[in-house]
Amino acid sequence: MQGTAKGDLAAELERTARLCEDAAGVYVARHGDHVGTDVVSGLLLAAAALDTAVDAVESEAALLITATLARDAVDAAERRGLDEALLGCVTALRRVTALCEDACIDR
């Protein structure tokens, strides 16, 4: 992966990690005691994987783990029901999943 592509991927991973953290916070604030812990934990696990992958965009293992956790977070959100707090985040997670998988294929 070339420097510019690496930087673009890292920036997208970083942006999506912040979206996941923000969406988890909004989701908890809106749903309180009725929050789906699978959704919140899925978003926060995806954010942690994304943050790790920012510094490891050359690591196929980091990218595959990130793609897996992002996909799991999307699945949890879809099971719970997509509201406006989750829709943008889910879209971004789908995008980074594809980017991570493409980066692994291109090696």
pLDDT, position 62: 95
pTM of the model as a whole: 0.90
pLDDT, position 49: 97
Confidence label for 107 from pLDDT (cuts 50, 70 and 90): low
pLDDT, position 2: 64
Rounded to whole angstroms, the Cα distance separating 28 from 20 reads 12
Range name among 12-16, 37-41, 49-53 with the lowest pLDDT average: 37-41
Q: What is the token pair recorded at 71?
A: 């996909």
Q: Is the pLDDT of residue 14 over 60?
A: yes
Rounded to whole angstroms, the Cα distance separating 28 from 36 reads 9
Alpha helices in the chain (DSSP H): 3-31, 37-54, 60-80, 84-105
In this predicted model, which residue has the larger pLDDT, 3 or 62? 62
